[in-house]
């Protein structure tokens, strides 16, 4: 009889731990669409889409590039936010250029849009530094302002 009570109590305990606990901020929403503008640049990034993949559009004075999926759009969670990176120029012999968007953590209330301020970083990667030594990456930071919102895809 004690064994049955123990098993029943154990099962009830397991069920109770599986029930999610709602926080006081249960109405907060994580954004999935971001739009930014900066000097001579605009970025639109969605963490998901109708096709179920992230999408990013990068536009500057010389080019408009569209990226999709986790192979083209690389994201990493860090202490300063999510770093979202795409390669905007690639050559076989001289290196590449990438753009990284720093996405700060944002919480929304349902149906809301908030203004956010962040930075973008253009990284130039040099394959062969002068005399085969020294710094192989240079950075240019870009001030970005925009919005974050949650949309239904």
Give one word for 35, left, alpha or beta, with left for phi > 0 and alpha for psi -120 to 50.
beta
pLDDT digits (tens, 9 = 90+) for 4-27: 444 444 343 433 333 333 334 556
Strand bridging mode 64-68 / 74-78: unpaired
CA dist., res. 123 & res. 114, Å (int) = 28
Q: Tell me, what's the pLDDT at 137?
A: 92
Q: Tell me, what's the pLDDT at 10?
A: 39
Closest CA to 58 of 77, 79, 34, 27: 34
**pTM here?**
0.79
Residue count of the chain, please give it: 153
Task: Specify the fold of 28-149.
Answer: Lipocalin (2.40.128)
Closest CA to 146 of 118, 120, 121: 118
CA dist., res. 35 & res. 66, Å (int) = 14
* Helical H segments across 46-97, by residue range: 69-72
Domain extent listing, the chain: 28-149
């Amino acid at each position: 009889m004690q064994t049955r009570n123990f098993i029943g109590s154990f099962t009830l305990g397991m069920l109770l731990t599986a029930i999610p606990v709602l926080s006081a901020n249960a109405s907060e929403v994580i954004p999935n669409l971001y739009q930014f503008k900066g000097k001579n640049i605009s970025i639109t990034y969605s963490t998901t889409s109708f096709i179920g993949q992230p999408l990013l559009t990068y536009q500057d004075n010389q080019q408009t590039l569209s990226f999709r999926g986790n192979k083209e759009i690389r994201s990493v969670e860090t202490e300063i936010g999510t770093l979202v990176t795409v390669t905007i120029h690639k050559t076989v012999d001289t290196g590449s250029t990438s753009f990284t968007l720093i996405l700060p953590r944002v919480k929304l209330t349902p149906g809301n849009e908030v203004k956010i301020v962040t930075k973008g970083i253009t990284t130039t990667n040099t394959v062969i530094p002068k005399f085969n030594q020294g710094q192989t990456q240079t950075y240019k930071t870009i001030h970005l302002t925009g919005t974050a919102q949650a949309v239904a895809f």
